[in-house]
Amino acid sequence: MRRVRSRDSPNEPAKGSPIEMGKYPIFRNPDRYLECRVARTPMAAFGRRAERQALDRCLAGITGIRTICDVSCGPGRLFPYWREKDFRVLGVEMSSSMLDAAREKKDSLGLSGDVIEGDAFCLPDLLGETPDCVACIRFAYYFERAERIRLLRRFAAATRRWVIVEYKTTETLKGQVSLQRQKRKPAAKKPHQRKQACSHEDIVAEVQEAGLVPVRIESLGEFSDRVLVLAQGPGEGGTTSEASETPRVALRRSRRLHLVFLFFVLWAVVYSINMAERDFWSENEAYYALGAKSVLRGDWLLPRIAGNVYSDKPPLFFWIVALISAPLGHVTEWTTRLANLLATLVVLVATYRFGRRTGNKWVGLLAALLLATMYEFWQQATHASTDLTFVALMMLAWTALYQRPFSGVVVSCVPFAVWSGLVYLHLGASPLHTIVIRHNFVRFLNAFDHIKPWYYYLYEMPLSTLPWSVLLPFAAWHLFRTWRSRADRDRMPLAFATTIMAIVLVFFSLSSSKRDYYLLPLMPWFAYVLGIYVWEWICISAPTETVDDSCSEREFLGRMLAPRFGRLLVGGIAIVFAAMAVYSGFVTHYLEQRKSPQPLANAINEAADENDQVVIIDDDDPRIFFYLRTPFELSDDTKEDLDRLRVMMKSGRELDLVVEEGDLGELRHISDVPLFFERKLTFRGDEYYILTNEARPGLRPFL
């Protein structure tokens, strides 16, 4: 028997109903409801589109639906969708104001059916006919489990065959964020305001306990915590497809996020932006490229740069650049920086693996993320240098030393010992004296360049590790406070990392020569300590049952995004990566016009004929050397070298002299040889002149 309350009756739920209308003001005010549910924002529009697509997928596998019961229909939010499907609609709502809005919506759409006032828990008694499907959207998850099962049983008794009900799920990203927030502040909301979220297994169990047969679970996407559940009732009638009649539930399972893989892809993209198009701005980059060219020519033991043996550092980086450049047959900016990028990858992977082995993969991922977004690390990684290759070798040696001390010693010492022996056999002790004694002991004890005070790194370290150096005092206090409560297996890696940090900091502070990038060996361990702090403060501080690798990717992200501090950290990482990309992709294009040495090198190439000899006077800038296509030699502005040039020019050889404006006066020593101004150029604010001893029309005499 159909029981319908009059429109003027008070909004009282049926006896035994868990609904208390006074607690849900939004369900009585159509304007507030529409403001909340039909907001005109991009995210709200995206959510409504996802909801419609999920409904389409639920309805796609079934046929025979002509009448649908919309419980609780509210102001008729879904009426346009049912109208598109050409369904006859029976709307059920217990709020008088909502009923008025729903009836007005139904009439304006020309929708067939009726809008009935009543309680959803009394659904079979309200309806005068049996609908083919009962749809309950955005309603059931406000109740506890027992009440939801009771509600589903009423739906099963009222429908001819199908039930579509919406649940809150914990198996999406937003679902995990909501779950972690609820765990952190379980009393933040009143009991009636807590939306009950379930796993897919719990949903299936509830539906089955209510006497329904679950058929499909359709997610609305990662950024929604809602799913639609399609179930069969015990009634007769209606036809189903073969897939929907099978007892197995068709879950639209969420894909793995592969967070670690995505991080390394993001790192590779951001760090390699404009890597090939940017010319060499620093002298060191061009120096290493010239050294790799020398290795390709056969000087693999000790390369030669501009005719001089390079014995400042071991040649491993030159070998790597030459190996990468060999398939192309020549060294380029891209192959030189790619070698540095590969060394950076080794450092990041070693940091991640150490964090995973001593903690869990999320500690490793956090450490790698924080390291990749440190200013000095990024700055050195995007410019070719030998320092990150050294750091990569040190990371491999240190991680091996932590696990197997003997293997760590082998990794640290044997490669250098083998190379040193070969150098001694072929070139004697002089190169080794320069590398080991001059550039290590002498530089440490009595520096000949880059002299800084002993406290230099006390203020340089916070600058080099920006923006994460702001976390250092909090991490130090947290680790100090929790040190005694830690197990020995947790103390050992922390003690190992902090010991390395202290050794590096003290060692280089005692050195009289200091550079900002000397702190690079410290940064992976600094990131590891911060990774442990972030994991423990953000993730483990929330009451949870999993704290290791069994923590899923979505649960990890949920823990990160639930607290405000975690959202600030994730937002900070995203901002840093975005700033890196903007700088590499756009700012460098502007700076390229000011810092590129190509215009000067191209002008020298154009000025020099095939038979001319280019002589660069008192300028050993390797950036110019790298881009010169014509043979050249270097000459100082000493009297001996200038006399040698005079002899060369008097012998009839055609020379093109490249000289800075400040050194033009030195050429007066060879005033008996006619010289002519050929071209004037500006590079980095310095004036360069190209002079020739060949008299040609239009050239102005030098003297």
Instruction: Indicate whether 348 belongs to any domain.
Output: yes
Question: What's the mean pLDDT in 16-44?
Answer: 57
pLDDT at residue 532 tops 80: yes
For the record, the structure tokens of 440 come out as: 């290590």
What's the CA gap between 489 and 601, in Å, rounded? 59
How are beta strands 113-117 and 250-251 bridged, if at all? unpaired
Domain span at residue 613 reads: 598-701
Backbone angles phi, psi at 338, to 5 degrees: -65, -35
218 plus 296 within the same structural domain: no
pLDDT at 22: 45
Q: Are residues 241 and 267 in the same domain?
A: no
In this structure, are 194 and 134 located in the same domain? Answer: yes
Residue with tokens 């949903």: 203
pLDDT at residue 103 tops 60: yes
pLDDT for 344? 95
- Here the CATH number for the domain that contains residue 222 is 3.40.50.150
Task: Give 126-137 pLDDT, tens digit per residue.
Answer: 888 899 999 999
Co-location of 584 and 656 in the same domain:
no
Task: State percent of the chain over pLDDT 70.
Answer: 84
pLDDT for res 182: 77
**Per-residue model confidence as pLDDT tens digits over 213-242:** 999 899 888 888 899 999 998 765 434 343
* One domain, residues 497 and 646: no
**Confidence class for position 180, pLDDT limits 50, 70, 90:** confident
Residues 390 and 370 grouped into a single domain = yes
Q: What is the pLDDT of residue 615?
A: 79
Average pLDDT for the chain? 81
Mark whether 297 and 405 lie in a shared domain: yes
The token pair that represents 394 in the structure block: 């040190």
Give the Cα separation of 178 and 223 in Å (integer).
Answer: 11
Is 488 found in the same domain as 616?
no
Query: Is residue 295 pLDDT above 80, yes or no?
Result: yes
Average pLDDT on 539-548 reads 54
Answer with the residue of higher pLDDT: 307 or 47: 47
- Residue finishing a domain among 216, 251, 286: 251
Mean pLDDT of 322-331: 91
Instruction: Using pLDDT thresholds of 50, 70 and 90, give the confidence band for residue 541.
Output: low
pLDDT higher than 80, residue 539: no
216 assigned to some structural domain: yes
Residues 519 and 486 both lie in one domain: yes
> What's the mean pLDDT in 422-440?
75
127 belongs to a structural domain: yes
Geometric angle at alpha carbon 504, from 498 and 506, rounded to 5°: 100
Locus of tokens 């040193």 = 420
Among 207, 229, 251, identify where a domain stops: 251
- The torsion of the CA quartet 630, 633, 639, 640, rounded to 10 degrees, works out to -130
Quick one: 339 and 216 in the same domain?
A: no
Judge whether 642 lies within some domain.
yes
- Phi and psi at 651, nearest 5°, equal -80, -5
Burial 528-537 (b: 16+ CB within 10 A, else e): bbbbbbbbbb
- pTM of this structure: 0.81
Question: 182-196, 308-322, 423-437, 447-461: which has the minimum mean pLDDT?
Answer: 182-196
- Same structural domain, 354 and 444: yes
- 473 domain residue, yes or no: yes
Among positive and negative, which fits the CA dihedral 371, 377, 381, 387?
Answer: negative
More reliable by pLDDT, 401 or 412: 401
Q: What are phi and psi of 658, to 5 degrees?
A: -110, 120
pLDDT of residue 242: 38
The string of DSSP codes covering 228-297 is: EEEEE-S----EE-HHHHSSS-EE-PPPP--HHHHHHHHHHHHHHTTTTTSPP-SHHHHHHHHHHHHHHT
Q: 547 pLDDT band (50/70/90 cuts)?
A: low
Same domain, 607 and 577: no
- The domain tally of the chain equals 3
Tokens matching residue 636: 């100082």
What's at 103, amino acid-wise?
A: R
Contacts of 416 (CB under 8 A, 6+ apart): 314
- Let me know if residue 693 belongs to a domain: yes
Residue 16 lies in a domain: no
- d(CA 690, CA 664) in angstroms, rounded, equals 11
Considering 571, 590, 609, which residue would you say is the last residue of a domain?
Answer: 590
Asked if the structure places residue 199 within a domain, the reply is yes
